[in-house]
Amino acid sequence: MPEGPEIRRAADRIERAVAGRPTTRIEFAFPHLARFQRRLTGDVVASVETRGKAMLTHFAGGLSVYTHNLLYGRWYVMQAGRLPKTRRSLRFAIHNEAHSALLYSASEIDVLPTSAVDEHPFLAKLGPDALAPGLTDGALSRHLAAPRFARRPLHTLLLDQAFVAGIGNYLRSEILFVAGIHPHERPGELTGRRRLRLARAIRRVTHRSYRTGGITNDERRAAKLKAQGVRRRDYRHHVFERGGKPCFGCGAKIRRETAGGRKLFVCPGCQPAPVR
């Protein structure tokens, strides 16, 4: 499933292609949304917003289209009149005279008044967006200190979109590594300084992934390894998908674990297990 940085980068591409221009045609694959096609055709796309892994395409006429890629959804931006070579099913399309923004394979699509987007069942439950421009380390640290999160292990909590929106499996491992925190620790066990370190890691790792197109490793290290001919998958992350390989920092062998049925990667040297 694409995570917050990937969805935001897709939104950037879509916004460049369709924002500020009147649509020439709108398509919905689902019959219950077909009634909005005529209403949105000719309307202007005002902006494309992301909230965690969800996307909102806002139209100037007062409607917004909510989409969530889930596991299989994928956006394509094409020149007008062209379609991608794919066996996926088209679910939602925005066409204008120059470009088309096409969403394939997604099943979570809704149309609602822009004034009511905060009431959408998924959006209403979201925690702060790790990529939100106004979010600060201090504000996020205070959010992490909420009593309702205190006793939940971080390996579970970081995937809960009500905790922080936009984090998925690779970001979970990378954030905990950068923060120097073991996945089985709980927010209630962290000192204020370590909680702030976690908040800072959440923001910085997520922003780095967005900025670099998915690289969460130290950027200078990644650039050096790339120049040496190292494959992208081997320099992209600190620990994720690097089970059995040495940590770039301390040299310890990275462990692959399973938490909640999903793979998790930990450096035993940089992320010592908690003593209880």
pLDDT, tens digit (0-9, with 9 covering 90-100), for 170-188: 999 999 999 999 999 999 9
Characterize the bridge pairing of strands 45-51 and 74-79: unpaired
Q: Which of 151, 211, 224, 262 is catalytic?
A: 262
pLDDT at 144 over 80: yes
CATH topology of domain 137-266: Helicase, Ruva Protein; domain 3 (1.10.8)
> What pTM does this model have?
0.94
pLDDT in tens, 38-51: 999 999 999 999 99
What's residue 71's pLDDT? 86
CA dist 131 → 32, 53, 160, 202, 217 (Å): 32, 11, 16, 9, 18
Q: Which of 2, 5, 128, 187 is catalytic?
A: 2
Does the active-site annotation cover 3? yes
pLDDT in tens, 84-133: 999 999 999 999 999 999 999 999 999 999 999 999 999 999 999 999 99
Q: Which amino acid, residue 246? A: P
Three-state DSSP class for residue 75? strand
Domain coordinates in residue numbering, the chain: 4-125, 137-266
What DSSP state is assigned to residue 147? G
What's residue 275's pLDDT? 76
Instruction: For the beta carbon of residue 98, count every other beta carbon within 10 angstroms.
Output: 11
The answer to whether the 4-125 and 137-266 domains have the same CATH topology is no
Over residues 9-26, mean pLDDT: 97
186, 194, 192, 121: which is closest to 156 by C-alpha? 186
What's residue 19's pLDDT? 97
Does the active-site annotation cover 108? no
Quick one: which H or E segment has residue 212? Answer: helix 192-212
259 pLDDT band (50/70/90 cuts)?
Answer: confident
We find that the CATH architecture of domain 4-125 is Alpha-Beta Barrel (3.20)
Q: Which of 8, 53, 172, 203 is catalytic?
A: 53
Residues 86 and 90: their CA atoms lie apart, in Å, by: 10
Does the active-site annotation cover 148? no
